[in-house]
Amino acid sequence: MRKIYMLTLCVLLAIGSHAETFTAKLDKTKRLKTVLPENYLTITDLKVVGPLNGEDMRVLCEMVGLNGDDEQVKEASLDHLDLKEATIDKDEHHPFGNKGQYTERGKYT
């Protein structure tokens, strides 16, 4: 019985250590959701290369289990996010609803 337990443990550890990182290469025309696979909500390790905009940030929120109001709506699948080679573009589109924006004087409109 102990041998079966140890064998099962070794197999599970081996499977868990082979998690692959999905690399998403973006540009002005390729957005995050278009380069991710259909089952993107199951990705555990993600590396993003290139510019991110507001819609891409919303996809990242979905991947960690949040909705547009920062409420936890499901269990997160994304455990590791590498943004070392990503940039965040200025974006006039507000994907998180009508929450207004800060003006230069710091007033919320």
Rounded Cα gap, residues 93 and 41, in angstroms: 23
The token pair at 56 is 């891409």
pLDDT of residue 54: 85
pLDDT tens per residue across span 28-85: 889 999 999 999 989 999 999 999 988 898 899 888 888 766 666 677 788 899 999 9
pLDDT of residue 28: 85
pLDDT of residue 46: 96
The token pair at 15 is 């499977």
Better pLDDT: 23 or 88: 23
**DSSP-derived secondary structure letter, 7:** H
